[in-house]
Each structure stands twice: as structure tokens, then as C-alpha cells.
Amino acid sequence: MADTPKRYFVSRINLLRTIAVAGIFFHHLWNGIPGMRNASALTELLHPLFMLADQGVGIFNIVTGFVLAWPYLGPGQKPLPGWADFQKKRFFKIIPAYYLSLFVLVPATMLVYGISSPAWFVENIGLRLLFLQSWSYQSLMSNMAAYWWLGLLAQFYLCFPLILRVYHRFGPARACLGIMAACWAGLALLKGHVMYWQDSSLGWLDYMIYFNLPARLPEFAIGMWLAAAWRQNSISSAGPLPFDSGFMRLGIGAAIFFLIGLMLPELPLPLGLIYNAARCLTFIGIVFALPGADRWGAYRPVAFIAGASYSIYLIHQPLQGFMHEVFKTASPQAEFFLQSSITGLLVIALARLLDRAVGHTSRE
């Protein structure tokens, strides 16, 4: 297979990753500064935009499914990977930077916030070493709350070779639609059970599933179908979106649902998750279709931030918390400006050091 289609999408993936990690950075910064929303009429107006920036996680999920599936679906595909071989090449690739971050940032958290309990250190390290933090309330209430996504990512990596076989067995369209139906319907049934029977004992499970693969697998699955649809048609079809009719119908349906959702109040689960996926897919479609997106994605700073996005994600939220202790006497607007510039540059510099320390220059 010619590499022209791959070169075409790589720059767009760079752009998407940069937008996603920037959105997550500013979402956590905005929410981490007390009184930010009500600081002025302008911040009240901007609040919905910064809350929406958390959709960077959904974009990352779809992009991850896309990148991992690209070599194995469509014309010229590679042989299906063995489970152990895939984990060695992919899952174990994310561990060094993750573990190094843990053993630096958890002690730093103890130092900055005056925590002296050895049990606290063991508990906060232990869950995360095993990638179990996405099932823990405690980890979602800390300055490392963003690490829940690493638990979700690990779950997907561990399951990916099996999911890939489902795609080969049933085809990308059927596999993706089946995963969406099973996951979202299962979450709806669980919520219905909790509400109908008033079974509070399962309330925690309903909440925690939101942060784990049972609820978020459809986002990765959409990315896998996107990769297959792109490879199937990118050689013979012209235009910025060379997808087959099935995936185009999915994209159009997502865009319509996105527009309808703009006029609705906040949707309950699982409709909220479905809407988030539709919103992220619509945004990705817009980026893929933009005439200048390949040039922007190839721009050196964009490509650099995209390549360092994993390490940026690991570092950004704890560092924002530490820097809040430095800037907390400033007004919310002043702290936001200082953190956006100073902390932003520190995060990028430390992410580069982290990548060099573990010998990584690229994530994919």
C-alpha cells in the first residue's frame, strides 16, 4: 500500500492530539482555580467553553483506536498480532513514563501538601501501579485525578488483540455497531435497575463504569472503524473524507445528534456518553475535512506537542496543583494567565525530559 494516505492522516492526528491535550490542560486549569467561573462576567461567559474542553479525552480515545487499528484493518493489512507480542510492543511502552511519573509526583504531592503518612504513599502508589485507579473514588478526588484515563487506556490495550479479532470476524461496521449497542445498552440496563429497584448498593458501580472500558469502549471502537473505512477507500476515492457509505452514515448521524443536543439540557447516562462520542466524532470529521489541516498538523510545534502529548498528560494536572500554591494569592484571572504561560511551558519542558529519560521520542 502506498504511504500517501498514511502521510495524509498523520498530520491530522498530530493536530487532533495537540488540540485534545491543550483542551484537557485548560479544562483542568480552569476547574483547579477557586472562583474562576464567577470571577467576572467574561469568565462566566467562557465557562461553558472550558468545561467542553474535557472532550479531549474522547478525542484521544477515538484517535487511539484509529492508530492502533490502522496497520491491521483494510487493504495491505498486517497479520493479526499475538496478545503477548502486542502487549510487549504497546502496553509495556506506556509503563516506563507512567511509573517514573508516579514515583516522582506522589512524593512531590506529599511534600507540597505536608502529607507524612506512609500509608497514604502506599495506597496512592499501589492502586496506580496496577492501573486500578479508575475504579477508586479516592484517586478521582486528588491532584492526580486525570490518571483515571491511564487505567482506561491499560484496559483497552489489554483487550485490543481480542477486539481486533472481532473486527476481522464480523467486519468493522458490524463489530463497531455491536460494541456500541452492547456497551451502551448494558449501561442503560444497569442504570434502570438502580433507579427502578432503588438499589443504592449498585450506585457506585454505575458511577465507576463511566470511567472504565464497559462504558468507553465504543469511543475506541469508532476509531477502529474509522481506520478501516479510511484504508478501504483512501486510495481510490478523492476528497478529504474518503470513507465508505456505512461510516459516512455514522458520521452524518453523529453530526445530526450533536446539533440536536445543543438544544437539549444535560443528558443522563448512557445518552450523555453517546452524545459525547457524537460530538467528538463530529469534531474529528471537521478537522479531517479542513483544507489546511495537513499543513497545521505538520507545523513543527504542533507535531512536537502531539508527540509529547502522553507525557504532557501525565505531568500537567499535578504541576497545576503545585503551581496553585505559588500563585494562589493572585486573583483568579491573574492566576489563570500565569499558569497558562508559566506552567504551560514547564509542562512542555518536563514532558520532553520525561520522554528522554525513558527513551521515547514518539508515542505511536
Mean pLDDT per 10-residue section of the chain, whose length is 364 residues? 54 94 98 94 95 96 96 88 95 96 96 93 92 88 93 97 97 97 91 67 72 95 93 59 80 96 89 96 91 89 95 98 96 97 97 93 50
Helix ranges restricted to H, the chain: 4-32, 41-52, 56-69, 83-86, 92-113, 118-129, 148-170, 172-197, 203-209, 213-233, 245-261, 271-289, 293-298, 300-307, 309-327, 332-338, 344-357
Distance (Å) of CA 152 to CA 76, 210, 211, 329: 30, 10, 7, 36
What pLDDT score was predicted for residue 1? 38
What pLDDT score was predicted for residue 363? 47
Cell numbers for 272, please give them.
Answer: 450523555
Sign of the CA dihedral running 15, 2, 73, 278? positive
What residues does each domain of the chain span? 4-357
What pLDDT score was predicted for residue 242? 60
